[in-house]
Structure 1
Amino acid sequence: MTSTLRRAGGFAAVGTLSLAAPALGAAAAVPFAVIAVLAAFVVDDGPMFELFARPGDHQDGRLNGLAGFTLAATGLALLATAPQLAVPPRQAMPTSVFVAAVLILAYGNVGEKLVAQRWSDPFAAVTGFTVVGFLAGTLGQFAVQTVTGAAVDLPTASFLAATGALVAALLRSVLYERDDPLVMLSVGLLLWFFTQLVLDIATVGIVVGLAVTILLGYVAYALGTASVTGMVTGVLLGLLTIVLGGVGWFAVLISFFAVGGLSAKFKYDDKLDRGVAEDNDGARGSGNVLGNAAVALFAVIGFAASSTLSMPSSLFLFAFTGSLAAAMSDTLSSEIGGLYDEPRLITTFERVPPGTDGGVTWQGELAGVAGAALVAAIAVALLDLGDPVVGAAVIVLGGVGGMTVDSLLGATVEGDRIGNQAVNFLATLAGALVSAGLAVVLL
């Protein structure tokens, strides 16, 4: 057994203390706080130090990684207990969420290290973390619910565990191992937020959602249209969309990923020769995925929370479709338009070299309109837009509006001031606002 696997096992053993939370009650934070103090100020040598020491701990003479891990667990434990002790009592983080967040990270690390012993592929490591973290998070919730006598809701527990495992895997891929405390806190707070939504998740829905999103994520990775982090991000977005929105919402989302990803591969060598090809052989990373789909994610979460927010759900529906229409329009206009000569700067109409930010061609603009129309057609077929003709027009206008904003930002501020991912986000936000605004006026 390697030292990294033994260390992961040690952290998992510490994380298992969270299962005592129902019995400890208000003292749930105490074991983790004690371990944090020992790790930071007492244990500086010996077998225990060697078990938990991460690179750099020997130089500092203290177990920084263990101290950070247990302090994060202490913070979550306090969120799960302290509000209940206030006068009057306030809503606390559910104990099951606290346990799930700790176990997802602790045992996910074990899964990652186990897989890494046999396969060096980053995809395998992320898969090991996600699968084992998911199982640990689900079983942890069951354990808490069994001890407390609460009813066991398998679909919701599975959804929370899957979401937590995917978010943790994504954050760990982007951050560093020393940032595990931040990952744990982020997962705990996110899952707490989801417990506040009115979730009506069927067993079949969560099973189908997981199966479809994982399959499509793997296909995207295998075809080279997404990197490992891009795949994890896409699976997370897909799962949230199909569970919180529904099949129609998911179909709109996946149409963007599929068509957009394939368009990046279309005549890739020609684009490479012209200097307009996407980096990483056209594979989309997490930044690219989030830049194009973050607004859609906020929209589907808003849709799920619309009753709590006392806002019409249709507003979020059109924000969702408008943002993805903008993402599709911008992607196709760039990928198709980049194959043609003599683009013109959108602000002055003067000719610029291919690949110039803000440069447009009539072929690219036509492809962008077609992309928005494709999103609108899928939405009309699978979603309730009210008046289908007006609804489709609203989505197309949102898509074209977002594409135009992208080009204008590219010609004026992209580069030294803001990057491509920020421009994509602002363009999809513009598409969402245009579609939602028009829907309010016309529907």
Structure 2
Amino acid sequence: MQPTLRRASGFALVGTLALAAPVLGRAAFAPFAVIAAVAAFGVTDGPLFELFARPADRREGRLNGLTGFALAAAGLALLATEIGLPVSLFVAAVVVLAYGNLGKRLVAESTDNPFLGATGFIVAGSVAGVGGQAAVAALSQSPILAPRFVFLAVAGTLVAALFREMLFERDDPLVMLSTGLLLWLFDALAVSVGTVDVAAALAVTVGLGYVSYALGAASVAGMLSGVLLGLLVIVFGGIGWFAVLISFFGVGSLSTKYKYDEKKRRGIAEENEGARGTGNVLGNAAVAVLCVICFAASRSVPIDGVIFQYAFAGSMAAALSDTLSSELGGLYDNPRLITTLEPVSPGTDGGVTWQGELFGFLGAAVVAVVALALLPGVSSFGATVIAVGGFLGMTADSVLGATIEGPAFGNEAVNFAATLVGAVVSAVTALALL
């Protein structure tokens, strides 16, 4: 057995201590606090040190990795016993990370394929998350809500896997705490989680996630981001919301791959053979996710959730409008800077062509039509509002690209700002006129 696999097994055993939380009550933090103290000050060599030590721990002569892991678990335990974090979510956050890492290491014993490694993390973490929540329910004599447990376990595992892809092994404490807090939010928003909804969400998002990775449309991190976003959108919004989201990812990915070699020759091709990474996914879809979260929250407050449908669709219209404008419009000659209309080289930030502007409006119109067909609160005039909002978002992207885009305000930030403009324009116009 490789040292990394032995270490992952040891961390999984430590994480399993979270299952004692229903029995220990307010002392649930104690086992992890003791482990943190022993790891920090009591173990500097010997078999335990060899089991848990990471390369950086060996250099420093202390089990910093185990100390941080145990302290993070102790902190979540205190949130569960003193602040109100459900104990089942505390347990889920700990075990999805501990067993997810173990699953990834098990896969690494036979292959270094990053997709299979991520799959090992997701499968092992999800199974552990469901089992942990079910164990807490059984020990506390609470109902076992299988669909809800599955949704929260998979969502938590995707969050943890995504953060693990973006960060480093030493950042596991941050991953665990972030996963626990986000699960708390997801649990509060998921008022009703049905078996069919969860099954459909998992089948659709996992299937499309695999296809996007297999076709080279997304990196592993981008695939994880897309699957997580899709899962949240389906559960919190519905299939109609997901159709709007996938209209951007599907059409946008095809446009990115279209004549990729020619784009590469012209110097305007996306990096990594056009595969979308986490930054690209979140830059284009972060506003949309905020909209669907607000829509879910609107069920508990006196706010008309329809306004968030318009904001959601407007942000996606802006994202697809900008993508088509850049990916297809960049294939034409004679671009001009949007702020001065001076001729510029292809690929210049803020450079536009009339063909790109036309493709951009068509992209916004595609999203508007999908929203009209599948979002119940969107009217015919509302679809026009969404198309205009998306086009204005694309225009804002070009203006920002010509004026402030650079090292301090990168492409992802510009994309976020553009989708925010599309969302705000669509929502405010709908609120004023509809």
TM-score of the two chains, using structure 1 as the length reference: 0.97
User: For residue 74 of structure 2, what is the aligned residue in structure 1?
Assistant: 74
User: For residue 360 of structure 1, what is the aligned residue in structure 2?
Assistant: 352
Look up the SS of the partner of 1:152 in the other structure: coil
Query: 1:14 offset after TM fit, Å?
Result: 0.5
Supply the AA of the counterpart residue of 1:114. L
Query: 1:114 offset after TM fit, Å?
Result: 0.2
CA distance in 1, matches of 2:334, 2:324: 17
The count of residues paired between Structure 1 and Structure 2 equals: 434
Q: Please, which runs of 5 or more residues in structure 2 have no aligned partner?
A: none
C-alpha distance 272-7 of structure 1, shift in aligned 2 (>3 A) = same
Supply the AA of the counterpart residue of 2:389. G
The 5 Å alignment of 1:213-292 reads: 213-292=205-284
Q: Does 1:433 align with 2:424?
A: yes
Look up the SS of the partner of 1:307 in the other structure: coil
CA distance in 2, matches of 1:116, 1:214: 21
Query: 1:196 offset after TM fit, Å?
Result: 1.7
Q: Is the 8 A contact 2:190 2:236 kept in 1?
A: no
Q: Does 1:134 align with 2:98?
A: no
Given candidates 178, 183, 195, the residue that maps to 1:203 is 195
Given candidates 381, 384, 387, the residue that maps to 1:390 is 381
Q: Is the 8 A contact 1:156 1:199 kept in 2?
A: no
User: For residue 87 of structure 1, what is the aligned residue in structure 2?
Assistant: none
User: For residue 399 of structure 2, what is the aligned residue in structure 1?
Assistant: 408
Q: Is the 8 A contact 1:390 1:442 kept in 2?
A: no
Supply the AA of the counterpart residue of 2:429. L
CA distance in 2, matches of 1:198, 1:113: 32
Supply the AA of the counterpart residue of 2:25. G
Supply the AA of the counterpart residue of 1:409. L
Following TM superposition, the consecutive aligned residue runs of length 4 or more in structure 1 with deviations greater than 4 angstroms are none
User: For residue 55 of structure 1, what is the aligned residue in structure 2?
Assistant: 55
CA distance in 1, matches of 2:408, 2:351: 18
**Deviation string for 1:46-78 (max 9, x for gaps)?**
101100001111221110000000000000000
User: For residue 107 of structure 1, what is the aligned residue in structure 2?
Assistant: 99
Look up the SS of the partner of 1:56 in the other structure: helix
**Deviation string for 1:104-156 (max 9, x for gaps)?**
00000110000011111111111100110001001100000011111111111
CA distance in 2, matches of 1:225, 1:52: 37
Query: 1:309 offset after TM fit, Å?
Result: 3.8
Q: Is the 8 A contact 1:18 1:99 kept in 2?
A: yes
Query: 1:308 offset after TM fit, Å?
Result: 2.8
Q: Is the 8 A contact 2:29 2:77 kept in 1?
A: yes
Q: Is the 8 A contact 2:189 2:236 kept in 1?
A: no
**Deviation string for 1:338-395 (max 9, x for gaps)?**
0000001100111111101001001000001000110011111111135x22111110
CA distance in 2, matches of 1:60, 1:269: 49
**Deviation string for 1:287-330 (max 9, x for gaps)?**
00000000000000110001334321011111100000000000
Q: Is the 8 A contact 2:22 2:136 kept in 1?
A: yes
Q: Is the 8 A contact 2:104 2:120 kept in 1?
A: yes
Given candidates 405, 409, 424, the residue that maps to 1:418 is 409
User: For residue 13 of structure 1, what is the aligned residue in structure 2?
Assistant: 13
C-alpha distance 360-322 of structure 1, shift in aligned 2 (>3 A) = same
Look up the SS of the partner of 1:385 in the other structure: coil
CA distance in 1, matches of 2:212, 2:89: 31
The 5 Å alignment of 1:325-364 reads: 325-364=317-356
Query: 1:172 offset after TM fit, Å?
Result: 0.3
Which 10-residue stretch deviates more, 190-199 or 35-44?
190-199
Q: Is the 8 A contact 1:105 1:133 kept in 2?
A: yes
The 5 Å alignment of 1:18-37 reads: 18-37=18-37
CA distance in 2, matches of 1:18, 1:26: 12
Look up the SS of the partner of 1:62 in the other structure: coil
Which 10-residue stretch deviates more, 427-436 or 53-62?
53-62
Query: 1:197 offset after TM fit, Å?
Result: 2.0
Query: 1:198 offset after TM fit, Å?
Result: 4.6
User: For residue 46 of structure 2, what is the aligned residue in structure 1?
Assistant: 46
C-alpha distance 394-420 of structure 1, shift in aligned 2 (>3 A) = same
TM-score of the two chains, using structure 2 as the length reference: 0.99
Q: Is the 8 A contact 1:337 1:361 kept in 2?
A: yes
User: For residue 301 of structure 1, what is the aligned residue in structure 2?
Assistant: 293
Query: 1:230 offset after TM fit, Å?
Result: 0.5
**Deviation string for 1:394-424 (max 9, x for gaps)?**
1001100100000000000011431000000
